[in-house]
């Protein structure tokens, strides 16, 4: 039995959930998300709650049970509160700026790295060394943050690079004479 899958998802006021076959659509104040649930999972909507249950007792159905519940809960949270990821730029001359909607990064290359925002993602630069990525789709926010970090990941000797806020970089000792 899935401990996560057994929990019901509470639908807050201002959020509407539509079930169309296996497609679940969630509309809220921040936007709309849709996802098609596997045929092995049954989703029911009653009295302001979403319930997820496996249709059979196969290992695949039991594995998808908790996953489906978590993805639906992330959709409900996304359209109500949204998601945000914060990146820090550490290094001399490393800075970020907005060019219209696009993010422009100076990361020690001979050129600036310009990143256009995908649909549903907004960039913010409160400080030159901090980038905020916001959106309603948790997976997309995390993917965009990971792609930006991959441009110049933190290196272990000086710690320079793009890192998640609060990320600890394991430092190595330099070469000795």
pLDDT, tens digit, 9 for 90 and up, residues 131-156 = 999 999 999 999 999 999 999 999 99
Structural domain contains residue 174: no
Query: Three-state SS for 7?
Result: coil
Q: What is the mean pLDDT of the chain?
A: 94
Residues 118 and 141 in one domain: yes
Average pLDDT, integer, range 38-54: 92
83 alpha carbon, distance to own chain's centre: 6
Domain boundary among 30, 47, 80: 80
Count: domains in the chain = 2
Tell me which of 65, 80, 95 is where a domain ends. 80
Q: Alpha-carbon distance 37 to 90, whole Å? A: 41
Q: In this predicted structure, what is the pLDDT of residue 176?
A: 86
Q: What are phi and psi of 68, to 5 degrees?
A: -65, -40
- pLDDT in the model for residue 34: 95
| Same-domain status, 115 and 140 | yes
Assess whether 92 and 125 both reside in one domain: yes
DSSP string, 93-131: T-EEEEETTEEEEE-SSSS-EEEPPPTTEEEEEEETTEE
Q: For residue 173, tell me if it sits in a domain.
A: no
Last residue of a domain, one of 34, 59, 80: 80
Given a cut of 70, whether residue 167 has pLDDT beyond it is: yes
The pLDDT confidence band at residue 2, using thresholds 50, 70 and 90, is confident
49-54 and 113-115 as β-strands: parallel, antiparallel, unpaired? unpaired
What is the C-alpha to C-alpha distance for residues 69 and 52, in angstroms, rounded to an integer?
A: 6
* Residue 64 main-chain phi, psi, to 5 deg: -80, -15
Residue 17 lies in a domain: yes
Same domain, 103 and 120: yes
In a domain? residue 175: no
What are the residues facing 121 on neighbouring strands?
135
Residues 153 and 105 in one domain: yes
Q: 175: pLDDT confidence band, cut at 50, 70 and 90?
A: confident
pTM: 0.89
Confidence of residue 1 (pLDDT cuts 50, 70, 90): low
- Give the mean model confidence (pLDDT) for residues 53-79: 93
Residue 18 lies in a domain: yes
Structural domain that includes position 117: 83-164
CATH number at residue 70: 3.90.930.12
* Within a domain: 169: no
> Same domain, yes or no, for 12 and 65?
yes
Torsions phi, psi for 74 (to 5 deg):
-65, -35
In 3D, which of 123, 118, 124, 115 has the Cα closest to residue 140? 118
94 and 75 co-located in one domain? no
Identify whether residues 74 and 95 lie together within a single domain.
Answer: no
């Amino acid at each position: 039995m899935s401990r996560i899958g057994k929990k019901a998802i509470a639908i807050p006021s201002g959020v509407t959930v539509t079930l169309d076959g296996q497609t679940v659509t969630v509309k809220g104040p921040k936007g709309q998300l849709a996802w098609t649930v596997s045929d092995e999972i049954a989703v029911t909507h009653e009295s302001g709650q979403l319930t997820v249950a496996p249709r059979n007792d196969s290992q695949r159905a039991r594995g998808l049970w908790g996953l489906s519940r978590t993805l639906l809960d992330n959709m409900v949270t996304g359209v109500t509160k949204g998601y945000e990821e914060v990146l820090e730029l550490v290094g001399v001359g490393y800075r970020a700026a907005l060019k219209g909607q696009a993010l422009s990064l100076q990361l020690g290359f001979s050129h600036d790295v310009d990143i256009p925002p995908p649909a549903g993602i907004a960039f913010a630069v409160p400080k030159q060394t901090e980038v905020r990525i916001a959106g309603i789709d948790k997976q997309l926010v995390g993917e965009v943050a990971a792609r930006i970090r991959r441009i110049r990941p933190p290196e272990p000797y000086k710690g320079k690079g793009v890192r998640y806020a609060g990320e600890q970089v394991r430092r190595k000792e330099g070469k000795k004479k």
